[in-house]
Amino acid sequence: MYDLIIIGAGPAGLTASIYALRARKKVLMLERMIPGGQMAMTNNIENYPGFDKITGMDLTTKMLEQAVKLGLEITYTDVLEYDITDTIKKVRTHNGTFEAKTVLLCLGAFAKQLEVENEQKYLGKGISYCATCDGNFFKDKTVAIVGGGNTSIKDVLYLYDIVKKIYLIHRRDTFRCEESALDKVKILSEKSDSKINIILNSIVTGLKGDGKLESIVIENKENKAISELNVDGLFVAIGRKPDTDLLKDILELDSLGYIKTDEDMKTNIAGVFAAGDVRHKTLRQIITACADGAIASISINNYISTMKN
């Protein structure tokens, strides 16, 4: 029996584990893939206090090492079922069922798909949802990036030194991202020999290629003009959605599937907490995920101490 099972080893989960282990709690972390979540897939992080610039993988390693030094136990497995409404919480996984007094859901969010025909067919054959993971496969090639948020802009900056040409395709004419990063992209795109071509008010409507992606069809939303761009790769960076399907009949979710919590990270079920990007909130950053994790851990300590009475 654990005091706490944390599901997800992103910044929220790792921070919560550090706080809980320092409070001498018995903690199990369950992680489906690799530690770090979206943080690990971010190339350069320039807004995490204490580091002018650090790679997501380095920051992940530092957080993970800190937690492991404190005694964190991690099992790499997928959760199959949550039985978390009673006092003893049960989490069924491929590696068996684990029990705890509390559960902290740090499930993050996964990449949204364009939902254009043939998207699955070209997955790994030109289409990627992670520039930092797959960018090197496109050395000196032509790629397109779709999206107008921080991920797409960071992807442009990451791929700039790797690829030959970048089309940045956004469905509107204004971006929703950090001004400083957008300024860098704009400066690079305005150079006379720029390899960046920004295409606004446009959406991808078709994907073509014989066995692998060779071109994309785009439609200008204003004048309905259709054009085709020859590309070797397409990075889809159009946001993320939470992986909360298994929880939809158990927890209160918002209309997009994010978990509703109060400011102490409590969900509607006693002993079940949520932190990080999976939570309904306005700002999803590493620092806000860490803050959620710290707050959740303190709430969990308080909850466990009331259980003893």
- For the annotated catalytic residues, the residue numbers are 130, 133-134
* Residue of this chain nearest to ligand NAP (CB atom): 149
* 150 touching ligand NAP, by CB under 6 A: yes
- Binders of ligand NAP among residues 218 to 277 (CB under 6 A) are 237-240
- Binders of ligand NAP among residues 10 to 49 (CB under 6 A) are 42, 47
* 201 touching ligand NAP, by CB under 6 A: no
**Measured from the CB of residue 176, what is the shortest distance to ligand NAP in angstroms?**
5
**Measured from the CB of residue 245, what is the shortest distance to ligand NAP in angstroms?**
20
The residue from 172, 183, 190, 305 that contacts ligand NAP (CB under 6 A) is 172
- Determine the interface stretch with ligand NAP among 49-57, 147-155, 251-259, 268-276 (rule: CB under 6 A): 147-155
User: x/- string (CB under 6 A) for ligand NAP, residues 179-198?
Assistant: --------------------
- Binders of ligand NAP among residues 90 to 119 (CB under 6 A) are 114
* 54 touching ligand NAP, by CB under 6 A: no
**Measured from the CB of residue 297, what is the shortest distance to ligand NAP in angstroms?**
22
**Measured from the CB of residue 195, what is the shortest distance to ligand NAP in angstroms?**
21
Q: Which tokens belong to 63?
A: 């957080």
Q: What one-character-per-residue DSSP string does 58-125 give?
A: HHHHHHHHHHHHTT-EEEE--EEEEE-SSSSEEEEETTEEEEEEEEEE---EEEPP---TTTTTTBTT
Would you call 261 exposed, middle or buried from its count of C-beta atoms within 10 A (0-12, 13-18, 19+)?
buried
Q: Report whether 141 contacts 163 (CB < 8 A).
A: yes
The residue from 57, 90, 149, 189 that contacts ligand NAP (CB under 6 A) is 149
Three-class SS of residue 227?
strand
Q: What angle do CA 245, 120, 129 make, to 5 degrees?
A: 75
CB under 8 A, 24+ apart: contacts of 268-272: 269/84, 269/85, 270/87, 270/303, 271/84, 271/87, 271/89, 271/101, 271/102, 271/103, 271/303, 272/84, 272/89, 272/102, 272/103, 272/105
Toward ligand NAP, which CB reaches closer, 163 or 238? Answer: 238
Q: What angle do CA 247, 132, 294 make, to 5 degrees?
A: 45
Residues at the interface with ligand NAP (CB under 6 A): 42, 47, 114, 146-152, 154, 171-172, 176, 178, 203, 237-240, 284-285
